[in-house]
Chains A and B, each alone.
Chain A
Amino acid sequence: SSELTQDPAVSVALGQTVRITCQGDSLRSYYASWYQQKPGQAPVLVIYGKNNRPSGIADRFSASSSGDTASLTITGSQAEDEAVYYCNSRDSNINYLVFGGGTKLTVL
């Protein structure tokens, strides 16, 4: 499959830890990258590679991977983390690059 599958919505209590997952065959061969998108704004890269954060991204964001599933973990969720999170990776099949459908994170 050339798709990356994400849960449509996840919620977390303020200050708690949440894991957002991304599943796809291509993740057996390639790392996932993760993006945060808030309403009316362009996406922002938060994690790339094995577990790398761009400059300015809080260290409460981390990533891991196992088999065909990549995960983004937010440890100690803040109100400002409420957003849609997308994964992407190099594709193994039809398309060169592919995005997941996005997960809307609600911080309660």
Chain B
Amino acid sequence: EVHLVESGGGLVQPGGSLRLSCAVSGFTFSHYEMNWVRQVPGKGLEWVSYIDSPGSATHSADSVKGRFTISRDNAKDSLYLQMNNLRAEDSALYYCARGGEYWAFDIWGQGTMVTVSS
């Protein structure tokens, strides 16, 4: 069975940093593109970052560009999101999602909550 399990969320002060992780199982991680998507509770989905299967190409939303870095370790079946210079508006539930055909997100984790507050 396919699983994506996020971790690393928590409470952090404005300007601080966090590193999110997503551990995957049940499929060949190195064959798939991956993404981070976030959602403020009660609000809509916002795509955050994308990484291709070998980890050589990345893209990020304008709202996080220069502050967030997506990466992966195919040997460890893990996806990461390094978040620096965090702002209150970055507070959200962060999902990792597998990239499928036609840029769809075909498998989602359950999310890890990030709260940026003093």
Contact = CB atoms under 8 A, between A and B. Distances in A.
Interface of A: 30-31, 33, 35, 37, 42-45, 48-49, 52, 54, 86, 88-90, 94-102
Main secondary structure of the interface of B (DSSP, over half): strand
Given A95-B62, A96-B59, A97-B50, A45 B105 contact: yes
Nearest to A96: B59
Interface in B20-38: 35, 37
With a 10 A CB-CB cut-off, give which of A30, A54, A88, A97 has the most chain B CB atoms: A97
Interface residues of B, number: 24
B44 A49 contact: no
Nearest to B62: A94
A99 B100 contact: no
B40 to A, nearest CB: 12
Given A95-B61, A95-B62, A43 B104 contact: no
Given A48-B101, A102-B45, 13 more contacts: A33-B102, A33-B105, A43-B105, A45-B106, A52-B101, A88-B47, A88-B103, A88-B104, A95-B61, A96-B59, A96-B60, A97-B35, A101-B44
Nearest to A84: B44
Contacts of B110: 42
Contacts of B89: none
B108 A48 contact: no
Contacts of B14: none
Contacts of B108: 42-44
B44 A45 contact: no
B11 to A, nearest CB: 21
B102 A42 contact: no
A96 B101 contact: no
Contacts of A86: 44-45
A67 B108 CA distance: 29
B47 A48 contact: no
